[in-house]
Structure 1
Amino acid sequence: MQTALLVITLVATGILCLMLLLSRRSVLAEISLVLTLCAFAGALTLDWAILGAPEQAQSLARLSLTLSGTACLALVGFSLVFARTYDTARLPWTHVGILALLLALPLTAAALPAASLLRQPQPGTPWLVPLTLTGFSLQVGMIAALILALYNLEATLVRATHANRWRIKFIVLGCMAVATSQVFSATPAILYLTLDLSLRPTREIGLLLGTALMGFSLITRPGQVKVVFSQRLAYNSLVVLLSGIYFVAIGVLGQNVALRQSHAFSQLDVILALVGGVLLTALLLSETARRKAAVTLRKYFYKDKYDYRQQWLSHTHRLATANKSSALYQAVLLGFCETFGFSIAALYLRRPPNEFFDPVARLEIDVPTTPVHPGDPLCPDTDSRISVKDLRGQSLPLPVSFSIPLQSNDTLAGFILLGRPFNTDEGYEEEDFELMEAMARQSFLAMHNLNLAEELALAKEMEIIGKISAFMLHDLKNLVYTLSLMVENAKYFIGEPEFQRDMVKSLDNTVARMKQLITQLKKLPSKGSLHCEDVNLLELVQESAKAVPGAQIVVTGGPASALIDRKEMSKVLVNLLRNAHEACNGGEAVAVEVGNSPHPYVKVRDSGLGMTEDFLQSSLFVPFATTKKNGLGIGLYQSRHIVEAHNGRIEVVSSPGRGSTFTVLLPEGGLHHSHGAC
């Protein structure tokens, strides 16, 4: 039976190690964890071999101690690098020193003779291997290393946001199960100066349970997580508390064992304690359990449901650490989820001069990319006082419970959706709503200030562009002048009339394009500078497609009339078509759809590499931000500027590996519109 358990544990460990090496996460963390698992598995195999060859117990036990020391060192290393990014951009010297100190564990076991670490077992009890004082010291060092690893893993889990915590929780719990089983089995070495090999099944079950938890995490919760760590130590630790309780309990149990005149704990007692400890740790780390416990304590022992000072300081600190819009949006959603006990959230903001609200951030929820209009069930009511809208019990397209308004001068500037509470029995009252509104005001001010700072930075960038353009204009003017002379000379000195006409025509076109580029560098079109007319979008798309040579462009749809500046909108279409063609690497065709439902639109779809959500949120329409090797990152910025000058907008849907779709939505045209400004 025990042999079968060992074989199952070794097979499961081997499969997990293979999965880790193929997962392509953090290479250093993967190697450390694989080394930990393999070393522990090797130590288990050697302990099993001792029972079959007791005459070689000393030498085999020394090798087992060497592998156990290696595993402890590797586990501490894993706990220091797994899912962590330090604020110093490298591993702190204190951590390097700890690893160097722990290197003495395997080196000491490997270098010293077996007789200086262990004594030969007594006949009749081959599973009890006595330790020397040096061997006892090694066991103490290994237990200290295991507790340090548990401490580090808990700190990583606590520091992670609840979305990242969801991804790494079972890997951390798996490592904790492995480490805890090793601590349990090493306890007799401290109490009786004896290695009790009869507790090997406890370590096997711990390793098997740990591999199952980690394998479950790799299969169901893929993706790499990084938690930013400061060098300051966290003093509040569940691991430290449980370790103290454990060793007090061991002392009590040791006295009980002595009174019974027994030499070891019952295997069943240890296994039940191990499984119960893992389950208790999972319960203590559960968001749902934490929320229920917090609500119960506040309800019966405190006057107020919230510690407002602590909530305010925590939320302010979270907002202050965000250095760009996408990070700030996530910080806002995370703050609301953790404060009010929800697992999903979404943020919608109004984009002037439009009246609708665009989704700009989400947390553990997929939201449609289409905007939400005032009066939508998800949108807070604006008829009277703008306040939190209770959505519980309503039939909605999203599983949300509350819509929290973001206000700017008594105007609805956006809203936050919260859903899927951790504690479904928790009641939300006026006290909750007042704190929601206060945090929403604070969040909007932070977003508004950051937006102003980004606009100022963009204005400075455009000022730099203007200075660069001055030098570019000088060089371009010289080129235009040179080409003009070539045209004039060619008219008189080229003998072949046909060649003359072709060359003159080509050079004239080049001169015209350069002059047009100079004009574009001087300024972008504004709303007042547009000359709008009713234009058939289908015809304009077909004309623009001819300006992208070599591209396979398939245009579908029917006639759609839009009130636009034909020349400026042609620039937008050519830019989008060229980008789509380059994204496809000249391979598959670019699909273009023209329609008029409910407003005129042009949809350009490619099958290229696509873009990440972070790039879409923070860099897509920013000058000089581009995914192309030779791109300048100005085309899309200019395109959006032109479309917005038409009172239109550009919507983008993209994901890595699935291509991108750009949709240009424009104002409707018709016979009742007159030509001129839009």
Structure 2
Amino acid sequence: MQWDGAVAVAAFSHGVAVLAFGALAVLLLRPAWRQRPHARAMGGAAAITAAWAGWAMAAAAAASSAPVLLDLQGVADALRSASWLALLMQLSSAGWRLLAGAMLLPAAALAVALQPAASPLLHAGLPLASSVMGMLLVEHLYRSAPQNTRWGIKFACLGIGALFAFDFYLYSDAMLLRHVNPDIWAARGIVNALSAPLLAMAMARGPVWTPGLRLSRQIMFHSAALLGAAMYLIAMAVSAWYLRYIGGAWGALMQLACLCGAAMLLAAVLFSGAMRARLKLFIGKHFYQGRYDYREEWQRFTRALADDAGGLSERAIQAMAGLVESPAGMLWLRREDDLFRPATRWNMPLPDADERADSPLCRLLAVRGWVVDLPEWRRQPGRYEGLPPPAWSAGVWLIVPLMLDRSLFGFICLALPRTALQLNWEVRDVLKIAGSQAASYLAHRASADSLAVARQFESFNRMSTFIVHDLKNLVSQLSLLLVNAEKHKANPAFQDDMLETLSHSLGKMKHLLLKLRRDDAPDAAAPLQLDQLLMRVVQLHAGSEPRPSLELRSAGLTVMANARRLERVIGHLIQNAIEATPRAGQVAVRMYENDGAAVIELSDTGHGMSEQFVRERLFQPFVSTKAAGMGIGVFESREYLREIGGQLQVASAPSQGTTFRVTLPLHKESEHGQE
């Protein structure tokens, strides 16, 4: 890589860096500052940076007489980057394994720097990777610090981050242009010098650093897999090259066969569940104190159970099996007869068996809360009260209880894991907690299913209640007709009214029977002439005493409603008025238009209702003042009127009568050609 540029500018820039970092090193290594946390480590990094800047200044000044100094500038760069990366790892309280891993990039850069003839991409790419790692560590250091301690470390993060950020800029440009820009390199020293005051201010504040660097297990797993695959590919390439080199005429054939076979072997290993399980177990055992990343595992487990898709039972088995790398399992649930029976399987056949709630296995699960280890049970039956394991448990490794409200809701049986796993207290506790979580989800789903069934019965019962209520109204109407027939049977007009009423009642009964025989869709609304409907309803009650009167103050009013349902609403209100009014009283029906709405008033001079009854009980279902009443007629009427945009109001007083006021929005048909 060629180095050129203004010698004086580069020497001056790096000379400023020598002074800045030299002064910082002297300050931090003084006895008064040396006792502060990490002062020695930062002082050492500052001293190395001052030496690096001095090397760069000397190389720039002697570029023509001693070009070897300029050629070996990469060595000084690698040592400087390694010192600051080591400082960041120490500030994060990382272990020696992570520290050794962080030093791999600077070590590789140092090795390349000792080979001036190496590719320019390597000369720029490895320092670039070191700068990226440094910026990531700075971000982690600041983000992981508690909120109340960031005040003390922010200047240190800014200072160290500036060092790596400028390196990123310098080497990114060098990778694009295949040589280092002399102007950017010349400014590097003075830009680095600006970080020294920030570091001094940070140490003066006496910062409290983050307690430790924590890399997620997923990152470690993927990094280890990537590193292993890279090493394997390198070895594969070297082997193929060697076969081609010594193979002569057969070299090309042997090389292609080796490459293809090795690639297929790598793919098989990467897709092997057993290999992934072994790698996870190795990382958890050698890099972490606990086996599980509880945050990651709990998020994965909860997402699996909370998925809206079907198959909750199978997903519960899979989520539980994932905690111990088991490839198969089955779920047993408690039924209504207090027997536990297999409900769902995953990669495992379901046995034709059941377990009583008081069986030895269920007692161990429910009373002791054990995660039953079947191989241990067979080896040491004394730990299990000398009882034999269940006959159906062949091929089962673990039985995990699903506890809900301190009772056994079910249990999950798991097959042997893909890799050898030590079943210690940590694994058992995680399985118990996961079992309780799975039991709550399964119980919630079972409750939801039961509630759905109960709602279906409720809907059927509600429909039956309304149908029985309609039958009651028809019976009441026919009873009144029979009572009046004794008095008016010789009147031809009464006979005509009676026949029409009987025909209408028969039609309504047939309609109710039809609704019982099939599940009708909701009645559709259509434009409806109110005056015709009111005349028909009043005419049907012409044989009653008192006979209702009709007054149409406005004609041609049209509303959107279902004719049968609105007729039932008006007919029920008229029937109630007739039943509540003495024969000598009056029942009047009036219709008029008011503020763009149709108003139907039904007034009677009956016994009336108190204000408290109207307010608290009139519109409550199953509440009635009549001996044979069901108490749902007014409730159903109000609900349907609300459904079509109307409303039902009532005014009543004891011994003075009642007035029901039905208000319905008018339907206006749009003219042709208008919207």
| TM-score normalised according to structure 2 size | 0.32
| TM-score normalised according to structure 1 size | 0.32
Greater relative CO (CA pairs within 8 A, separation 6+) = 1
Larger radius of gyration: 2
